[in-house]
Amino acid sequence: MNSETTSRRGFLMRGAAVVTSFTMAPAFAAATPAAPTAASGPSAGAGRLSAAAAGTLPIGDLRVHRLGFGAMRITGDGIWGEPPDHGEALAVLRRAVELGTNFIDTADAYGPYVSERLIREALHPYPPDLLIATKGGLLRPSASVWEPDGRPAHLREACEASLKRLNVEQIALYQFHRPDPKVPFEDSVGELARLQREGKIRHIGLSNVDTRQLAAARALVQVVSVQNRYNVADRDSDDVLVVCERDGIAFLPWAPLAGRDMAHGATDPRIEALSAIARERQIDIQQAALAWLLARSPVMLPIPGTSRVAHLEDNVAAAALHLGKEEMKRVG
């Protein structure tokens, strides 16, 4: 993503992998609603505020709560360099886990490298049910540049470096960050398949792809997730979401809060309708945006990010919000 905001069932996890204690998930069905009791693990003591309230969905043979955390904003301004408040960045990550978040999305390009290092510093040794997903395939030669690099040699180097930074022996979900127009797409995905066969990757995901690219990748590997820009005001990936929903592929919407559109005022009628619902419910518009995503599709896994604990808690509160059919119809 930019600065704006195969499963192989025979694979055995090696000792230090993040997800060694995950239970195996059944074949994909509709997202599982939250149980009436509190989730086990760190979220159990977090009171009613819990990401578990969003229910769960599978990532390949793993299962996570359906509200994750995007670890892009814990870096410096412009997703570049160290965070202005190191302690707050660590506190955000730890509080996310306390609140039942067991899916954290990051990338080597965030910082670059800073986000992955902070995750390790804050959370290692990792909780047994925590799935850390990272991405490779973008270079950051400067703060303003996000340059695709899909060369197989680079993807291998990037994956192996992420393994070291995160201090794991296998990455639970490794995502190709963005197709590189200079490199055949199949060559890039093929290298991920080789890394998977070597046990360095458990599951493969894609980011910033269209339906054609998704189909091309699925001819080579099992794709368990797609991460594309998607929110109430930007639905250009609706066709990709249809494929994901049909075939049980998790869809991770980046820029889930439509911040850029909301910052310019509620000129979009869909944002205006959602804003009205937020006022009626006396909730924040960003909470309403997350609730809309959760109601939009059972394969949706929002990953809102923030650098502040208070904002994190506001986002997690959205896990318990459920928009009804009439409200969804109003938004369109």
Q: Is 126 annotated in the active site?
A: no
Cα–Cα distance, 58 to 63 (Å, whole number):
4
Which DSSP category does 167 fall into?
A: T
Spatial CB neighbours of 133, under 8 Å, sequence gap ≥ 6 = 59, 103, 104, 105, 106, 171, 172, 173, 174, 175, 205, 225
3-state helix, strand, coil in the chain (%, to 5): 40, 15, 45
Locate 195 and state its tokens.
């890394």
- How far apart CA 172 and CA 137 sit, in angstroms, is 17
How far apart are the C-alpha atoms of 219 and 279, rounded to whole Å? 46
In 3D space, the residue among 73, 50, 9 whose CA is nearest the CA of residue 304 turns out to be: 73
The residues, ordered by sequence, that sit 6+ positions from 14 with a Cβ below 8 Å of its Cβ are 169, 170, 199
Alpha-helical regions (H) of the chain: 86-98, 114-123, 152-166, 185-197, 211-218, 238-247, 259-263, 269-281, 285-296, 309-317, 325-331
Please check whether residue 63 is in contact with residue 54, taking contact to mean a CB–CB distance below 8 angstroms.
no
Annotated catalytic sites, by residue?
A: 110
